[in-house]
Amino acid sequence: MKRGKCITVCLLSMLSLLSLAGCEAEHQRPAKVYIPDGYVGWVRIEYGVQGAPELQTDFFGPWEYQWFPASGLLQTSSPLRDGAASVNYFYYSGNETKPLA
């Protein structure tokens, strides 16, 4: 009987952790923002655009990735949330990235 109780507790704990991981998407995430190398000007994100792709996020990790095209306008079907918990900025060119000074 003691072993059966332990298995039940373990299964309930795993179920609780999985349900909490599913709720994480609604909270603020830290963002990694990628801007084309050499880009000069304002960048803009339009949220909730029908037919646009969702922002990339890590499945278990906290990061949200914002890759701006050469136009500086990023359209996404993802909803606008309260804002990023923190933001890291990078330039990108092809497959190479470097931190924005």
For 77, residues 6+ apart whose C-beta sits below 8 A from its C-beta are: 48, 49, 50, 51, 52, 53, 54
Identify the pLDDT of residue 25: 45
Q: How far apart are CA 85 and CA 75, in angstroms?
A: 21
At 6 the pLDDT is 55
In this structure, is residue 18 part of a structural domain?
no
pLDDT at position 75, please? 97
Per-residue pLDDT of the chain (101 residues; tens, 9 = 90+): 465 555 555 544 555 544 445 444 456 788 999 999 999 999 999 999 999 999 998 888 788 999 999 999 999 999 987 776 889 999 999 999 999 87
**Alpha helix ranges (H) inside the chain:** 2-23
Q: State the chain's maximal CA–CA distance in angstroms.
A: 68
For 50, the domain range is 28-99
In a domain, 8, yes or no: no
Count: domains in the chain: 1
Residue 68, CB-side half-sphere exposure with 13 Å CA sphere: 24
pLDDT at 47: 94
